[in-house]
Amino acid sequence: MNELDPAVMSVLRTVADDPVAYVAQWKAESGRLAIASFPMNFPAEIVHAAGALPVIVQDDPTPITEGRSLLAEFYCGYTRSVADQAALGRLDVFDAFVVADHCVQLLGAVDVIRWARPDKPLHFAQFTSAMDDPWTKSRVTGRIEECAREVEAALGVSVTPEALAASIRTFNENRRRLRELYDRRRSGRARITASDMQTLVKSSMVMDVREHTALLDRLLAQLDPSAEPPGDLVRLHLSGHFCHGPRPELLDLIEESGALVVDDDLYTGFRYISTDVPESGDPLTALSDWYLERNRAAPCPTRVSAEIDWDTYLIDSIERSRSDGVVVLMAKFCEPHMLYYPELRKALDAHDIPLLLLETEHEGVPAETVRTRMETFVERIRRRPAAVSL
């Protein structure tokens, strides 16, 4: 079975593990600026077209210190980590911040950035969450145009339609490479662990996009498209975690239990790369189309649509990937996920799809508890054919 090139993965893992160090090195070598954004829907193409480095701020696994006095303990781990990083100066490498989408908790983290670094430009633009209203598209287009103007003002440049169209093509190429790796994993023709897949996607949120695509090309060139999948492991789908990546050690524990993760809808996963931006027409309009289409390609419970829902999408994804069960990873205090979960569980139960809920925290989860629950879950799935035959 195919394995990923360890030399390439080492480079990508270094970036994913220490994004700030990569950004600082990139700025020193290029002489250009870097702009930070946050999950979930900021169009990074705008920053790239302006000549700067777009970076999505990542969760820092180090213990939260200063952040404990700045946000309440019932804020999710990601937002408390962002507040902690801002207070400690770890985000000073960024020259501006853009908040194009948010939950209420992220607003608190952004307020900490305003307080800690008042000299840094910070633009807030809330994209509408109601996807079906007559005014949705025009409102989203207006917000994206505002984002473009704010980026231009922060960097002192003008973003031409030609430059933005070129950036759209460049990011689409990167997304296509990552989706090809997803296809290889779903089919079983490549052994890509859940933690390695997260490294691939997370590094794409930080690195210069062309540099990242070149490394993906090296990985793909070394994979044998005719490799056969193993047949002795339980196939699982990972679901949830809308803003930040689960700890790699947790992902490793899941697969050490005798399971093979073949698909996901994680933010630091397929959700992030699910949708390309149209490459024809006005590029700003194309970015608003991308925002709307993204909720069709990978529905999010933070968006409201009468015709699209996350549970139907998840069930269809499970069938396409031939997954035997679902592990739901829920970040503690993630209100949108907590509110939607009962409906999701009811839908999965109705389709007789095995489900295990694992709640995650910034401070980590007890490894042996997770291991025991996962081994029990996998064993329960393995016993299902015998139970059905009785």
CATH number of the structural domain spanning residue 11: 3.40.50.11890
Calpha distance 290→284 (Å, rounded): 10
Q: Within the chain, how many helices (H) and strands (E) appear?
A: 15, 10
Distance between CA atoms of residues 325 and 88, nearest Å? 41
Structural domains of the chain, count: 2
Quote the CA–CA distance of 236 and 60 in Å, as a whole number.
Answer: 27
Residue 3 has pLDDT above 80, yes or no: no
Give domain status of residue 190, yes or no.
Answer: no
The proportion of the chain whose per-residue pLDDT surpasses 90, expressed as a percent, equals: 75
pLDDT tens string 60-78: 999 999 888 899 888 999 9
245 DSSP 8-state letter: P
CA distance 227 to 246: 29
Three-state DSSP class for 259? Answer: strand
In this model, does residue 168 exceed pLDDT 70?
yes
Do the Cβ atoms of 205 and 268 come closer than 8 Å? Answer: yes
The domain boundary residue, chosen from 132, 163, 194: 163
Burial class (CB in 10 A: 0-12, 13-18, 19+), 192: buried
Q: Output the pLDDT for position 389.
A: 33
Quickly tell me which residue has 């607003």 as its tokens: 107
In a domain, 197, yes or no: no
What are the tens digits of pLDDT across the range 6-17?
999 999 999 999
CB atoms within 10 A of CB 387: 8
| 205 in a structural domain | no
Are 154 and 301 contained in the same domain? no
Residues 154 and 245 grouped into a single domain: no
If asked whether residues 9 and 157 sit together in one domain, one would say: yes
Which of residues 102 and 105 earns the better pLDDT score?
105
In this predicted model, what pLDDT tens digit does every residue of 116-150 receive, in sequence order? 999 999 998 888 888 888 899 999 999 999 999 99
Whether residues 139 and 6 share a domain: the answer is yes
Q: Is the pLDDT of residue 387 over 50?
A: no
Measure the CA–CA gap between 31 and 200, rounded to whole angstroms.
26
In-domain check, residue 223? no
With respect to residue 327, please indicate whether it lies within any of the assigned structural domains.
Answer: yes
Tens digits of per-residue pLDDT, 209-226?
Answer: 999 999 999 999 988 766
When the pLDDT of each residue in the chain is averaged and rounded to a whole number, the result is: 92
Q: What is the pTM of this model?
A: 0.94
Residues, the chain, total?
390
In this prediction, residue 255 has a pLDDT band, given cuts at 50, 70 and 90, of: very high
71 with 118: CB under 8 angstroms? no
320 within some domain: yes
Same domain for 10 and 147, yes or no, is: yes
Average confidence (pLDDT) over 189-213: 95
Alpha-carbon gap, residue 42 to 54, rounded angstroms: 10
- Digit-coded pLDDT (tens) for 76-94: 999 999 999 999 999 999 9
Is residue 309 very low, low, confident or very high in pLDDT (cuts 50, 70, 90)?
confident
Integer Cα distance of 371 and 131 in angstroms:
40
Nearest to 84 by CA among 66, 97, 98: 66
Residues 25 and 142 in one domain: yes
Q: At 156, is the pLDDT very low, low, confident or very high (cuts 50, 70, 90)?
A: very high
For residues 47 and 54, the answer to whether their CB atoms sit within 8 Å is yes
β-sheet with 259-264: strand ranges across: 259-264, 234-240, 325-331, 355-360
Asked if 156 and 239 sit in the same domain, the reply is no
Residues 125 and 16 in one domain: yes
103, 54, 63: which is closest to 85 by C-alpha? Answer: 63
Burial of 166 (0-12, 13-18, 19+ CB in 10 A): middle
Could you tell me if 109 and 246 lie in one domain? no
Give the number of other Cβ atoms within 10 Å of residue 29's Cβ: 9
Would you state the torsion angle of the CA atoms of residues 300, 305, 311, 313, taken in this order, to the nearest 10 degrees? -80
The last residue of one of the domains, among 104, 139, 163, is 163
* 154 and 19, same domain (yes or no): yes
pLDDT digits (tens, 9 = 90+) for 19-59: 999 999 999 999 999 999 998 899 999 999 999 999 999 99
191 vs 10, more confident: 10
234 falls within a domain: yes
Per residue in 320-357, pLDDT (tens digit) is: 999 999 999 999 999 888 988 999 999 999 999 999 99
Residues 38-51, buried b or exposed e (16+ Cβ, 10 A)? bbbbbbbbbbbbbe
Q: pLDDT tens digit string along 276-288?
A: 999 999 999 999 9
SS3 at position 331: strand
Domain range for 99: 2-163
Among 130, 163, 196, the domain boundary falls at 163
| Average pLDDT over every residue of 308-327 | 93
The answer on 96 and 21 residing in a single domain is yes
The confidence score (pLDDT) of residue 4 equals 85
Radius of gyration of the chain (CA): 21
For residue 211, is it within any domain? Answer: no
* 3 state DSSP class of 262: strand
CATH number at residue 251: 3.40.50.11900
Q: Alpha-carbon distance 311 to 128, whole Å?
A: 21
Q: How confident is the model at residue 341, as a pLDDT?
A: 92
